[in-house]
A and B are shown apart, each in its own frame.
Chain A
């Protein structure tokens, strides 16, 4: 079975601070995919990034960066110079490609509040 743990339930920062959201995953599959989604107050989940298990290169997209480390089963997300608009719930998710499962296993989310 797959499991995703986001130990940080809530984080509050002041605008322009950097913030890192932690994600630890568990799976026995060697081929898997990791995701981050953002859920603003409007409710819909917005895709941020997808990573497969064979690509451990870190990625940067604007103020967002992701650190994937298979050795520690972690896929952490950093927002640099946070802005009030970054306030949302962020979910880390895991999918496997074996068997017939076509589903994402989500963590419980981290509520990020960026204060002006």
Chain B
């Protein structure tokens, strides 16, 4: 499978717990993006990596959120002290060039439910 892979697909956690999601982009893609999608809404940009460098962060990404992309390969998104408002689908995407210039490939997402 050469698509974008996300793990886990579903996560249920108690409020206050920490969670970590993983994204494996298409191997030759050096751009990687995280988006968040709540029910009935379009995805909202969270952050962007070019190789291992995190070049852009949305104001949606509070201090409880951190993303990494060590060695410019897979990426992780961690949410600390989860809140009910964090419940959403977290989507990862990757592309060969900047997203405005090309097709981005999205994973199937990680659905987070905070109870």
What is the bound-complex CA distance between A104 and B91, given in angstroms?
13
Interface range on chain A (Cβ under 8 Å from partner): 20 to 34
Residue among B41, B89, B99 making CB contact with A103, cutoff 8 Å: B99
List of B residues within 8 angstroms of A96 by Cβ: 100
Does B74 make an interface contact (CB < 8 A)?
no
Q: How far is the CB of B60 from chain A (nearest CB, A)?
A: 11
Q: How far is the CB of B6 from chain A (nearest CB, A)?
A: 9
What is the bound-complex CA distance between A108 and B40, given in angstroms?
7
Q: Total interface residues on B, using CB and 8 Å?
A: 31
List of B residues within 8 angstroms of A46 by Cβ: 106
Residue pair A102, B100 in contact (C-beta under 8 Å): yes
Residue among B40, B48, B91, B106 making CB contact with A102, cutoff 8 Å: B48
Q: Considering residues B41, B43, B89, B105, which has the most beta carbons from chain A within 10 angstroms of its beta carbon?
A: B43
Residue among A4, A33, A44, A100 making CB contact with B101, cutoff 8 Å: A33
What is the bound-complex CA distance between A109 and B41, given in angstroms?
7
Residue among B41, B56, B89, B105 making CB contact with A100, cutoff 8 Å: B56
Residue pair B99, A108 in contact (C-beta under 8 Å): no
Does B31 make an interface contact (CB < 8 A)?
yes
Which 8 A-B pairs rank lowest in CB-CB distance, beginning with the nearest? A106-B42, A95-B100, A103-B45, A45-B106, A47-B103, A43-B108, A33-B100, A44-B108
In the complex, besides A44-B109, A102-B55, A104-B100, 19 extra interface pairs with C-beta distance below 8 angstroms are A4-B42, A9-B40, A43-B91, A43-B108, A43-B109, A44-B3, A44-B4, A44-B91, A45-B43, A102-B48, A102-B56, A102-B100, A103-B33, A103-B58, A104-B99, A106-B43, A106-B44, A108-B40, A109-B42
